[in-house]
Structures are given as structure tokens and as C-alpha cells.
Structure 1
Amino acid sequence: MEFKFNVNDIFKQPIVEINNNLIPPGFSGDRRALWDTLGKVSEVVNTMGEASAVAQGLSKPITTAERLRNSEHKLYFLIDQAANNGKGAVTGMLKTGNKGLYVFDRDGQHYQVTPPCILDFYIHESRQRTGLGKHLFEHMLQKEEIEPVKMAIDRPSDKLLGFLNKHYLLNSPVKQMNNYVVFDGFFPKSAEPSHVTESKPSGNLGRKESANGLQKFTSPQGRYGAPRPPCSMGQIIHNQTTNNKNQEPTGAQIVSQ
């Protein structure tokens, strides 16, 4: 994506990380320069967010500068510094952030967790199928020190699922009722009891916490069993309520690399 201004003046590295202050890495200047830079970064965020929404067939963008300011999410931009006659172009965007979720494994056990999530993923149409998506994704994994199997993906497209299968051998996704997708390796292994410790039961539920932050709720009912544990719906409603302020519709899209 090309812009009228010189992208290389504000993004000085091939991959840059932007958080909710919208200040690019390496910025230096007075207040006037800061406001000018913030305006340009906001334009990049909004333009890339709109392009991602169009690619996903969404009615409105899920990534905007305003939403980024009001969240703890991160944006990774991929920059082609030689493009646009040396002024640079933004060729990819990846948004991540932690979300409070209730997720089910294949056995119907549900867990309370706040994992790193893939919230938006877009590579410009002119640069798809060139390996840039893998390059950007790998950079994010290294920066956040996470394995892809430990991340939750919000509303992934078939192409993104194909990307994860091709590059990370992640297949047979465990689809959740909240539109997120995880994989079997996301959950603690029952064969390794040292990773899960028993805690005092609350009500009719026995709760276990794992070292990676997952809280396991054990109950005789399965995923679609009835009746559900007495406090499950209350917990889910409470979770949705407490996260409503910062919650935004999210999604992820990428053409296979």
C-alpha cells in the first residue's frame, strides 16, 4: 500500500511494531513533528484496516487507529523500503492481543484463559504468495516468544487455516462457540500431571490451574451436555460483560503463501 508521504520517514525498519500510543520505533522530534507522525501512522492503520476488511468481505474495518488507542493490542507492519520510488510502501499487517476466553477441548472440558490471539492478518494483494506472510508471522512469534499452537485465532478464513497447516502443521482445528479457533496443542496434556495442579473446588465445579495460565473446569457434562454446570453460564456472561468495554469485532485473513 503506497501513501503520498514518505513511509520510510516514519517506519525506519522492514518490520515495525505499533502499540496504542501510535508512536513508531525510533521516533525523535518536537511536538509538531510528533503530531505530524501520529497523523501519518493513523492514516496507515486506517488504510490497512480498510483493505483488510474488504479482503474479508466485512461491512466495516476491524482495525482502526481509534480502536488501537483504546486497546492493548499490537500491530506489526511489513515495509517494502524500496517501493514507491524509494518512499516505501506498507505491504502487510498483523494484529495480536490477549483476550479473556472460555474454550473447550475435544472432550468437552472447558478452560478459562487469556491467551495471545491473532486478531487481524492481511497481506496486500500485490504481494501475496511471495512468502511475506510467513516472514511477518515468524517475526511476531519471535517477538512474543510464543508457539503458534498456543495462540487462539479469531474467525480465521480457510486460507489462514491452510497457511497454519502448511507452515506449522496445525490441522484439525477445535472450533469454539465464540468464533475463535484453537488447536489440540493449545491445551495442557493430561498425560503430564505436573503441568496441572488441583485447587479447591468452587460450588459443583472442580477447578485446575496449569502452569501456562489455563484454568480447567471439570464437570460430568460434556460440551453439549445438559444441564450445564450451575455457574458456567454466569461465568460466561460475566466474562462477556467485563470484557465488553474493550471488545471489538475481530477477524483474520490471509492468502496462502
Structure 2
Amino acid sequence: MQVDADFRPILGPQLVRLDPMRIKQLQDPLVYSSIDSLAKLSAHCLNLRAPLTTCEKLINSDNTLYLAWKFDEEQNVSRLLGFAKVGRKQLFLYDSQMQTYEGEILCLLDFYVHFSAQRQGVGKQLIDYLLAQEHAEPYQLALDNPSVTLLGFMSQKFGMSKPVWQNTNFVVFDELFQSFAAENGEKAPDGWNRPQTPRRIGAVSTDTRWLRNAVSGHQSKGNAMAAPVDADMTPQGALSNRAHQAKARKAHILSSKPLW
């Protein structure tokens, strides 16, 4: 995307990392509007009503923008080539064996290369620079609702050919779980155990494994002391539980008192 200005004194190198503080320090309306315009093109390609990325949102978040650009000395213009927005999110994940994981994952939230710069290695340079700055490997990226094009890009450029879709529309790669099993085996890292690590999913019980930077979460509102809870998973038990919940809701409505 062409901009009639010289961004070299403002942005510096052709691959630049813009965290919220750096974006706020730019203090250049033309740079802000140019990035926002590039993000609108990304939203248009994904048929979104509004862009996922704006400078205002970035300043008020913990996300980081990686921008590829260059200065055309012949025409004396700056060209924005593409960007990638990442952030760390606490995710609950399933692997292909339906085992559950919990951890803070580096997420690729928005990724776009301008049509004039596609198939020129810009996307690969962006992701390589991103991974180097974040000290991460390609399989450690979680993709937020990726397009078929992005999945093909990750497969072709990084060999990530086994995506595992999650209920939240995030996609992680099977190599993430394989690397964790190879490093830690079947045991959770020291200090990351918590009561009731096996959690019940539906009518079966699955094991909970852990990723790096895992944090504990509440088990249930009726289990504040982390004591084991035996659930009756039979059809009769489910019907009884529903009846009990209905009575509790009715009593709450009639008494106008909180249940907990």
C-alpha cells in the first residue's frame, strides 16, 4: 500500500515491532491512518464488517503488531507490505485424542500481506521475524479462525500440516502436543499440579495435561474447597439433577435471594 511520505525517520528498519507503548510514542497521524487502512484491506479479504486491527485498539491492549514496509527511493513513497498481530491468551485446548490442555499460548490474531507484495517472501519474513522476537517455534502459534490460505501458507512454509481445530475457532498444530509429551512425558511439570487434575468431559473422563505458564482455575461454584465431587452420569442422575436445578431456580425467583 503506497503512502506519499517517508516513514524512515519514524519506523526505522523495514521489519519493525510495534508494541502498545511504541505505537503510542509514534505520535504520527499519517502512520496511524496508514496502518488502519492496511487493516481494513485485511478485513475486506476476510469478508469482515469491521477490521480486527486498529492503532487505537493496539494501544489499549497487550497485543503486538509486526509491520513489513519499505521506502521506494525512485518514487519517494513508503509502501506498507503487510503485518501480523499477535497476543498471548489463556486457552483450553484439545488434542487429536481429545485430551485437554490449559496454558498461555502465543496467538496469531491478524495476518495480511498486501496483494502487490504477495508471493515475494514477505509473509515468511514477517513470521520468521515474529517468531524470533517472541522466542517461539512455528508449532507454538495458535491461529485465530484462520482462512484456508493461511493454513496452506503454514503448511507450505513451515511444514505445519496437521491443524487441530478447537471449539473456540482457534487452530493449533499437532506438533505442539507432541513436543510437550517429548519434553515432559505424562507428568505435569513440578509445581503445576492441582487437585482434581482429571476433569470430566461429557460422559467420559479425560486426563488434563499442562502447557507452559499454566494457571489453575476454579473447578465449580459448588466445590470452593477443591474437594472431590462425584457426579452421577447416568440418565436417571441427569434427570434428577435437572429437576433439582429447576427447583433451585424457582426458589430463587420466589425469594429474590442470591443462590450463592
Q: TM-score range by the shorter chain?
A: 0.7 to 0.9
Matches within 5 A, 1:1-257: 1-23=1-23, 35=27, 37=28, 39-82=29-72, 85-187=75-177, 188-189=180-181, 192-193=184-185, 196-197=188-189, 199-202=193-196, 205=199, 208-210=209-211, 212-214=212-214
Cα 1:112–1:203 change in 2 (3 A) is: closer
> In structure 1, the residue corresponding to 2:21 is in which secondary structure?
coil
Asked which structure has the greater CA Rg, the reply is 2
> In structure 2, the residue corresponding to 1:63 is in which secondary structure?
coil
Distance in 2, matches of 1:159 and 1:84, equals: 33
Task: Tell me if the contact between 2:102 and 2:210 (Cα under 8 Å) persists in the aligned partners.
Answer: no
Distance in 2, matches of 1:174 and 1:209, equals: 17
Question: Which stretches in structure 2 are left out of the alignment for 5+ residues?
Answer: 200-206, 218-234, 239-260
Q: How well do the aligned residues superpose, as a CA RMSD in angstroms?
A: 2.8
How far off its partner does 1:194 sit?
7.4
Question: Which stretches in structure 1 are left out of the alignment for 5+ residues?
Answer: 28-33, 218-225, 228-257
Q: Which amino acid aligns with 2:82?
A: G
How far off its partner does 1:146 sit?
0.5
Q: Which amino acid aligns with 2:17?
A: E
Distance in 1, matches of 2:198 and 2:83, equals: 44
Partner of residue 243, structure 1: none
> In structure 2, the residue corresponding to 1:114 is in which secondary structure?
strand
Cα 1:200–1:53 change in 2 (3 A) is: closer
Higher RCO (CA-CA < 8 Å; seq separation 6+) = 1
> In structure 1, the residue corresponding to 2:75 is in which secondary structure?
helix
> In structure 1, the residue corresponding to 2:2 is in which secondary structure?
coil
Describe the superposition over 1:77-126 as per-residue Cα deviations: whole angstroms up to 9, x where unpaired.
11122267133211111111101211111111111211111111111001
Distance in 2, matches of 1:78 and 1:95, equals: 12
Distance in 2, matches of 1:84 and 1:78, equals: 19
> In structure 2, the residue corresponding to 1:152 is in which secondary structure?
strand
Runs of 4+ in 1 over 4 A off after TM superposition: 214-217
Q: Which amino acid aligns with 2:57?
A: R
> In structure 1, the residue corresponding to 2:57 is in which secondary structure?
helix
Describe the superposition over 1:137-157 as per-residue Cα deviations: whole angstroms up to 9, x where unpaired.
111111111001011000111
Task: Tell me if the contact between 1:83 and 1:89 (Cα under 8 Å) persists in the aligned partners.
Answer: no
Task: Tell me if the contact between 2:4 and 2:76 (Cα under 8 Å) persists in the aligned partners.
Answer: no
Q: Which amino acid aligns with 1:189?
A: A
Cα 1:190–1:145 change in 2 (3 A) is: closer
Distance in 1, matches of 2:216 and 2:94, equals: 10
Distance in 1, matches of 2:37 and 2:158, equals: 30
Distance in 1, matches of 2:198 and 2:124, equals: 45
Query: TM-score, normalization: structure 1?
Result: 0.72
Task: Tell me if the contact between 1:99 and 1:116 (Cα under 8 Å) persists in the aligned partners.
Answer: yes
Partner of residue 225, structure 2: none
Cα 1:61–1:83 change in 2 (3 A) is: farther
Query: TM-score, normalization: structure 2?
Result: 0.71
Identity %: 29
